[in-house]
A and B are shown apart, each in its own frame.
Chain A
Amino acid sequence: MAEELVLDTAIRDWVLIPLSVVMVLIGVLRYFVSKLMRSPATSPSPDPKLVKEGQVVIRARNLRTNAQFIPAKAFKARKVYYTNEENGLLHVPKEEAQKAQAAMFSDPNMAMDMMKKNLSMIVPQTLTFAWVNFFFSGFVAAKIPFPLTQRFRGMLQNGIDLSTVDVSYVSSRSWYFLNLFGLRGLFSLILGEENATDDAQKMMQMGGGFGFNPTMSLGAEKDSLDIIQHDWALPKMERHAEDVLKQLLKK
């Protein structure tokens, strides 16, 4: 192995510590900026159609799961009410379904929100990365007090293309990345539990933004309502009631 590298204490004072402090400050700043940019009043006025569709789905699900508790006639009337092909509550015309899909993607409000979210995440990250790259590239900034395998070289020595340096030395750019992803715990301490700027979660949100589609769940609910058989549970309950009364009389 190569002999020990001696790290200048100036590196500690002028690279390691400033980098960490700057990362923390940027995280805090980003939190306040994203709070400012967040659109006021989370959802000013939800689409009446969406509200109604959500409620229809709940009610239809109730009907599907508890159908055995109402008489057959009542069940049939409701089934027709929900699923008939002309104006049933769960019936979604084909062209409208497609339109809904299109509207989802072209909704300017939603796109705007996402833009803001992404902006508050990407812009500072690019800037800090450029800054770190410009001023601190090529430093060995720290040494981890225990040995590591070669696999960690990509993670800890980003920006140093020397295969002879021991893996436990950390380059400045890698230190930046470690800070970027490792400060979440600190942020949740500073900014309160739920306020932590969680990059990983934001990434998730970005992917799942288009997840819920009420029109689709309407269709699914309709299909499952179509196939269920009505089996009235009340006659059975009548027999159970007899047993209950017999028990009472025995006492």
Chain B
Amino acid sequence: MAAAVAAATTAEDEARLLRLEEQAEHGGGGAWEYLCLARRLRARRPAHVLRVGLALLNNASARSGLASEQWTLYEQVAMAAMDCQRLDVAKDCIGVLSKQFPGSTRVARLEALLFEAKGEWSEAERAYALILENNPFDQIVHKRKIAIAKAQGDMSIVVDYLNKYLELFMADHDAWRELAETYVSLQMYKQAAFCYEELILAQPTIPLYHIAYAEVLYTMGGLENLQTAKKYYASTIQLTGGKNTRALFGVCLCTSAINQLTKGRNREEEGSELQSLAAEVLLKNYKQQAPSKVPLISSMLKNMKLS
């Protein structure tokens, strides 16, 4: 219930964000409100933020009206500028900030980020190492270091860093998710499965984790894994109210794979009619939404002996 309420308010906020964006872009005022809302929602709309924010910064009277809030604006604009590869703007903003707050960690982070944006990896790493010396538990900096490794394409180092990070901050599920995806990309499915289990433990009602776990298990193969995978596809169906087509396909594929493995010897699964139900729903959905593909789907289901 609470989650539903939260979702509703975020949707409302997002609508408001877009409305304010429209208004601010066309000089209708509300620029500062838009930027505040974007910051609060952590919306990543760099091009708009850059345009609106820069206009506000260049307007001296508006800027001084913000008083001490203007530094936040500088930071926001710098980030947006880096996202848009407007490195000159970012550099100017960061220069102002570092003059205002010499020795600040937050500014140091921005400076390192600028190195990253320029692609000067070793410089960026040195800057991050310097921050970590003073504050070894800066989660953002740790994550940036992982991001650098990822940007350089060195996946084994990414895995290494992520594991070190998770050893310390083991309740950070975003990091678990990143690690899971990295393992999948490296085809290390056993490890990926562990990560997805961890994610399911942390947030058991998110269907995305269930289906990702099921997919990893299905990819690994083997009777036991396939049976487990089918169960997790089923839980995804339950959590999404049967709206997830991928999960429906998953149930069908798992069933046919299990049947192939057991060659019909294992009859204990017969009690369940999940697969035929899933096939029916699939067929119905295709009839409603993509009638031209119905022959394809029905022949596929026939091959799987599900209809």
Contacts of A249 in B (CB 8 A): 277, 280-281, 284
Question: Contact between A245 and B277 (Cβ–Cβ < 8 Å)?
Answer: yes
Contacts of B167 in A (CB 8 A): 52
B residues 238-281 near A (Cβ < 8 Å) are 238, 241-242, 272-274, 277-278, 280-281
Closest chain-B Cβ to A179's Cβ sits at a distance in Å of 34
* Residue A240 CB within 8 A of the other chain: yes
Cβ-neighbour of B171 out of A55, A70, A234, A235 (below 8 A): A55
Contacts of B168 in A (CB 8 A): 48, 51-52, 55
Closest chain-B Cβ to A51's Cβ sits at a distance in Å of 6
Question: Contact between A242 and B232 (Cβ–Cβ < 8 Å)?
Answer: no
Question: Contact between A234 and B281 (Cβ–Cβ < 8 Å)?
Answer: no
B residues 121-150 near A (Cβ < 8 Å) are 135-137
A residues 76-112 near B (Cβ < 8 Å) are 78
- Interface size on A, as a range, is 20 to 34
Closest chain-B Cβ to A228's Cβ sits at a distance in Å of 13
Which of A51, A63, A74: most chain B CB closer than 10 A?
Answer: A74
A243 to B35, CA, bound (A): 46
Cβ-neighbour of B277 out of A62, A67, A242 (below 8 A): A242
* Residue B201 CB within 8 A of the other chain: yes
Closest chain-B Cβ to A113's Cβ sits at a distance in Å of 19
Closest chain-B Cβ to A77's Cβ sits at a distance in Å of 9
A197 to B281, CA, bound (A): 65
Contacts of A59 in B (CB 8 A): 170-171, 198, 201-202
With A55-B171, A70-B201, A248-B281 known to touch, is A240 a contact of B137 (CB < 8 Å)?
no
Question: Contact between B170 and A55 (Cβ–Cβ < 8 Å)?
Answer: yes
A27-45 near B? 1/0 per residue, CB < 8 Å: 0000000000000000001
Complex: chain A residue closest to B217, CB-CB: A71
Cβ-neighbour of A62 out of B194, B202, B230 (below 8 A): B202
Question: Contact between B204 and A69 (Cβ–Cβ < 8 Å)?
Answer: yes
Contacts of B137 in A (CB 8 A): 45-46, 48, 51
Question: Contact between A241 and B274 (Cβ–Cβ < 8 Å)?
Answer: yes
Closest chain-A Cβ to B9's Cβ sits at a distance in Å of 25
* Residue B197 CB within 8 A of the other chain: yes
Question: Contact between A238 and B197 (Cβ–Cβ < 8 Å)?
Answer: no
A235 to B235, CA, bound (A): 9
A240 to B204, CA, bound (A): 16
Closest chain-B Cβ to A205's Cβ sits at a distance in Å of 24
* Residue A56 CB within 8 A of the other chain: yes
Question: Contact between B242 and A237 (Cβ–Cβ < 8 Å)?
Answer: no
Cβ-neighbour of A45 out of B136, B171, B230, B273 (below 8 A): B136
Closest chain-B Cβ to A61's Cβ sits at a distance in Å of 9
User: 17 A-B Cβ contacts within 8 A?
Assistant: A55-B169, A58-B171, A62-B171, A70-B201, A234-B234, A237-B235, A238-B231, A238-B235, A238-B274, A241-B274, A245-B237, A245-B274, A245-B278, A245-B281, A249-B277, A249-B281, A249-B284
